[in-house]
Amino acid sequence: MLDALLPPNTYFRFNPYMSEEIPLDESRQDRLDVLQAEGQQYLERNENKLKKVARVLTQEKGIVQKLAEWAQLKADMYDGLPFRSKL
């Protein structure tokens, strides 16, 4: 639902199906094997989605994004400091 409200390629949701509830602190090998198998199946079924998000995350930043990040950095650096213009 959130991906419908945001610009393209800004939100990716990964929500693998689990056939049974397995606690995060599970240590039995048979349960871990189930998790690993389900994880592998999820990766195989969503290979194109994973490749797309990798492509988006590794693309070069454009000039507008670089300038926006620079301006935000400067704003964060000087936040709370008195500023007087000499103009």
pLDDT tens for each residue of the chain, 87 residues long: 777 888 888 888 898 888 999 999 999 999 999 999 999 999 999 999 999 999 999 999 999 989 999 988 988 888 877 666 565
User: With the CA atoms of 2, 51, 17 and 12 taken in that order, what torsion angle do they form, in degrees rounded to the nearest 10?
Assistant: -10
Which residue ranges make up each domain of the chain?
Answer: 2-78
Compute the distance between CA of residue 20 and CA of residue 34 in angstroms, rounded to an integer. 9
pTM, entire model: 0.61
The burial of 53, by beta-carbon neighbours within 10 Å (0-12 exposed, 13-18 middle, 19 or more buried), is given as middle
What are the backbone dihedrals phi and psi of residue 55, each rounded to the nearest 5 degrees, phi first? Answer: -65, -45
Q: Are 17 and 38 in contact (CB under 8 A)?
A: yes
Residue type, 87: L
